[in-house]
Amino acid sequence: MHAIEKLLAKKAGKTSVKTGEIINCEIDMAGINDLYLQTIRSFFEMGGTKVYDPSKVIMFLDHYAPASTITQATNQKQFREFCWDQGIDLLMDIDQGVCHQVLADKGLAYPGEIVVITDSHTTTHGAFGAFGTGVGATDLAIILATGKLWFRVPEIIKINFEGKLHKGVYAKDAILHAIGTLGADYAVYKAVEFGGSMLEQLSISERMALCNMSTEMGAKASYIQPDAITMAFLEERVTRAYEIYHTDADFHYADEVSFDVSALKPQLAAPSSVDNVYDVSQFIGRHIDQAYLGSCTGGRAEDIGIAAHILHGKKVASRTRFVIVPASKGVLLEAMEKGYVKTLIEAGATFVTPGCAACLGTHEGMIASGETCITTTNRNFPGRMGDTKAEIFLGSPAAVAAAALMGEIVDPTLYM
Ligand SMILES: CC(C)[C@H](C(=O)O)[C@@H](O)C(=O)O
Ligand code: SF4
């Protein structure tokens, strides 16, 4: 069996599982975000009165934090009241940030466990060897009521990234390249394991970016086998024991592909799909109205640090805005301590408080018709970050920061 299958079997109270089998699993952590008030409505509609285990439920006010409309404020009020009524202590209010980063900061995604959130990028937690997946309101309501959820055991594919990334090229470039090659539907309902020698070079921050973007190839979940880098990160955060599963040597993947990343150039996903990926050289000189650094994909302290390095002692281009949204409070504090915030504010960047902000076009930093934005986020569909007639390029933090500096798309490796 694969490590993921062993994990699922354990949570289903079975000794083994097979691909395609329907199983009912205990959920270790269930999260709800502020776009999903329907979860609470469904819970009551189903006859729910008391949440099965409030200690395993976490509420995130992140997609529009702090509220900028009366509807948002009213929704968030209802979430808070639900938590207080139900004894849910893990209420991550508007000061905390994007759900996936908050979970990581607090060490709440454990290897060998199942994390389910009303958010498609819950695949991010594969970076810790957890089975993380996104669901809709009614599925989450079932977890609130019973502590369990059914799954179809997914096919498992392996994507190997071999070699060493060039200076100025990042995990984001590697995953964009993979999505561009394999297609946005390559992994629909499948679990994706990432492997290969590139991983040895990747911090937890970059591993999270990789797993996060697996959603953009349709993945149900993702997985990186926990190693010394994972352990070092978790040691400082987790508070209880967990189990790490290992894949049997004779396990057969549904598919296995390998990429050599040693010659990889910076990549961009051009408007308007995530698999529309080219070398940055294709777009050199294209004017940028807004550079955006943020989200659960590319808004971590390391990403902000790359931008600070590129903009140190320099200024954002005069006809370009540079919006920076730390993914969480922890990220913002680290960026402040390391001096990144001061450097970037002096360079002319605009900081927004931690949260999803303009990543999904509902909050601060939205873009106008006819504008072009380059961003570290994960989706570039029409309207994703504002007007449907705005254009969005997805790239690495270095590609975004270098474009902010020059006011146009440039090769970031020349600015490192
Ligand atoms: C809020 C949620 C529905 C959505 C998701 O599931 O991914 C959002 O976070 C996004 O990135 O589009
Ligand atoms: S930061 Fe963006 S991708 Fe991540 S959860 Fe928020 S809206 Fe979704």
**Residue 56 belongs to domain with CATH number:** 3.30.499.10
Which ligand has the nearest atom to the CA of 63? 2
Cross-sheet strand order for the sheet of 267-269: 277-279, 267-269, 391-394, 372-375, 290-294, 321-325, 350-351
pTM over 0.90: yes
Helix (H) or strand (E) holding 278: strand 277-279
Q: For residue 395, is it within any domain? A: yes
Are both 218 and 337 inside the same structural domain? no
Q: How many domains does the chain have?
A: 2
Residue 273 corresponds to which tokens in the numbers above?
A: 């799909």
> Is any atom of ligand 2 closer than 6 Å to the C-beta of 363?
no
CB distance 307 to ligand 2 below 6 Å: no
Q: Check whether 296 is labelled as a binding-site residue.
A: yes
Residue where the block lists tokens 């790239």: 395
Average pLDDT of span 33-60? 98
263 within a domain of the structure (yes/no): no
Residues 292 and 147 occupy one common structural domain: no
Is the CB–ligand 2 distance for residue 230 below 6 Å?
A: no
Same domain, 151 and 217: yes
242/280 same-domain check:
no
Do 20 and 79 fall within a single domain?
Answer: yes
Is 296 a pocket residue for ligand 2 (Cβ < 6 Å)?
yes
189 contacts 154 by C-beta, under 8 angstroms: yes
Residue 356 annotated as lining a ligand binding site: yes
Mutate which of 34, 96, 98, 117 for ligand 2 pocket (most atoms within 8 A of beta carbon): 98
Query: Could you tell me if the CB of 213 is within 6 A of ligand 2?
Result: no
Cis omega before residue 271 (within 30°)? no
Same domain for 34 and 144, yes or no, is yes
- Ligand 1 centre distance from Cα of residue 119 (Å): 5
CA 149 to chain centre: 22
Indicate whether residue 378 lines ligand 2 (CB < 6 A).
yes
pLDDT at 164: 98
Sign of CA dihedral 331, 179, 138, 362: positive
DSSP string, 290-331: EEEEEHHHH-SHHHHHHHHHHHTT----TT-EEEEE-SBHHH
DSSP 127: G
Q: Where in the sequence is the domain holding 225, given as residue range(s)?
A: 3-258
Question: How much is the ipTM here?
Answer: 0.98
Average pLDDT over residues 172-192: 98
Instruction: Encode pLDDT of 266-310 as tens digits.
Output: 999 999 999 999 999 999 999 999 999 999 999 999 999 999 999
Helices 171-182, 204-213: inter-axial angle, 10-degree rounding? 20
Same-domain status, 45 and 147: yes
Tell me whether strands 290-294 and 372-375 are parallel, antiparallel or unpaired: parallel
* Mean model confidence pLDDT for the chain: 98
Q: What is the model's pLDDT at position 93?
A: 98
Residue 264 lies in a domain: no
Q: Do both 230 and 335 map to the same domain?
A: no
Which one-letter amino acid corresponds to residue 311?
Answer: L
Verify that 112 and 209 share a domain, yes or no: yes
Instruction: Based on the fold, state whether residues 212 and 344 are members of the same structural domain.
Output: no
Tokens (6 digits) for 256: 């296995």
